[in-house]
Amino acid sequence: MKSPWPAEFARIPDADWAVAPLGELALKYDTVEGHGWYCNLDRTVTDLAAYLEPHHRLLDYSGGTGILASRLLMEVATRGFGILIVDSSPKFLRLAVDKLGRQERMGFRLLRYLKKEKRLQSLAETVDGSLYPSAFDAVVSTNAIHLYYGLAETLRSWWQALRPGGRVFIQSGNIGLPYMPAGSWIIDETVEEIHRRAREIVASQERWSAYRAPLGDPSRMEPYDVQRRKFFLPVRPIEHYLSRLEEAGFRILEVTHLPIEAHVDQWYEFLSAYHDGVLGWIGGSKRIEGRGPTAEAVEDRLQILRDALADIFPNSGSFRAIWTYINAERPEDL
């Protein structure tokens, strides 16, 4: 099978992150691949499989631990397109290399955070000159676009990465819609509801009285509210994304909304990895108070998280989340 990469392209960079030990958080996050709600990738895999040709190159932006890439390679195993995973997490990307690095069709690049400039590197600073600009046939972003602070700049870099006529495939379960079917959720909005229910549980149940002090002190709770909204950003409306795509030069081809069943126990398992961001005020957070919670406080925090989910979804093992899929193109004539 002919390589999709230029001869001078190093698929795996000679960098510390590429050979570092595997990180616990990355390994734990990667287990979401087995969660039922990760069938949200099915539509994107289908769209990509229908579009990609043997000679194509796909830029998997925020590709993380390689979950989408793994599924796509299994779906079209004999088609020789290349996939370049770009991500800002060295630990997630390291796991992707461990899983997929032996595949000649796979490449990996890290978007480093530049502390002095308080920004991530751009694609122009990260991807080899032989591949940027205009060397990709498609860009895909799954379960991530709602996390981008510099959205306009990111979308413009995608436009530049694509050849004229190239496609963008975006999906997220955290895009606000003007109308939601009854009983449906934007998945990250459950985090604010968990916080609200947890406050009620701690305030009303004597067994959790040791954690009540912050509830009556807005100055203590405010940093935790800020931290929670950094972990799980407030949901932005769909028009925000569509208008930014058009401003970047893209033509919107299709917008679809699909219901995805999320199992409560699996959503708990995911959120438990980020318990410090969800309910850090229970027991305290080292990021805010300079000292972390005791092991006992973490166990209590996780139990309250379970109880809050049980309050939100009583007598139900699952809930319906709405995923949004946006397909767009870089027009040939621009």
Q: For the chain, what are the domain ranges?
A: 16-172, 184-230+264-318
| Residue 169: strand pairing partners | 140, 327
**Cα distance between residue 116 and residue 93, in whole Å:** 23
CA 229 to CA 277: how far, in whole Å? Answer: 8
Percent of the chain with pLDDT over 90: 91
**C-beta neighbour count of 249 within 10 angstroms:** 17
Residue 110 pLDDT greater than 70, yes or no: yes
Report the percent of the chain where pLDDT is more than 70: 99
What is the per-residue pLDDT across 34-89, written as a single tens digit (0 to 9) for each? Answer: 888 899 999 999 999 999 999 999 999 999 999 999 999 999 988 999 999 999 99
d(CA 132, CA 125): 9
235: pLDDT strictly greater than 90: yes
Give the closest residue to 95 by CA, choosing from 85, 105, 82, 83: 85
What was the pLDDT predicted at 17? 97
Q: Which two tokens stand for residue 297?
A: 């406080």
Q: 285-314, pLDDT tens digit by residue?
A: 999 999 999 999 999 999 999 999 999 999
Say what the pLDDT of residue 149 is: 87
* pLDDT for residue 326: 98
Q: Which residues contact 80 (CB under 8 A, 6 or more apart)?
A: 1, 2, 4, 54, 55, 105
Using an 8 Å Cβ cutoff, are 191 and 228 in contact?
A: yes
Pair of tokens at residue 120: 């991530």
Contact, 325 vs 168, CB < 8 A? no
Q: pLDDT by residue (tens digit) across 6-26?
A: 999 999 999 999 999 999 989
CA angle 71, 74, 77 (to 5 degrees): 140
- Strands (E) in the chain, as ranges, are 57-61, 82-87, 106-110, 113-114, 119-120, 136-142, 162-172, 175-176, 184-185, 236-237, 251-263, 318-329
- Asked if pLDDT for residue 272 goes beyond 80, the answer is yes
What is the total residue count of the chain? 334
Domain topology for 16-172: Rossmann fold (3.40.50)
Strand partners, 84: 59, 107
| Mean of the per-residue pLDDT values of the chain | 95
Q: How confident is the model at residue 334 (pLDDT cuts 50, 70, 90)?
A: low
Per-residue pLDDT tens over the stretch 212-228? 999 999 999 999 999 99
Partners of residue 324 on adjacent β-strands: 172, 257
CA 134 to chain centre: 25
- What's the alpha-carbon Rg for the chain, to the nearest Å? 21
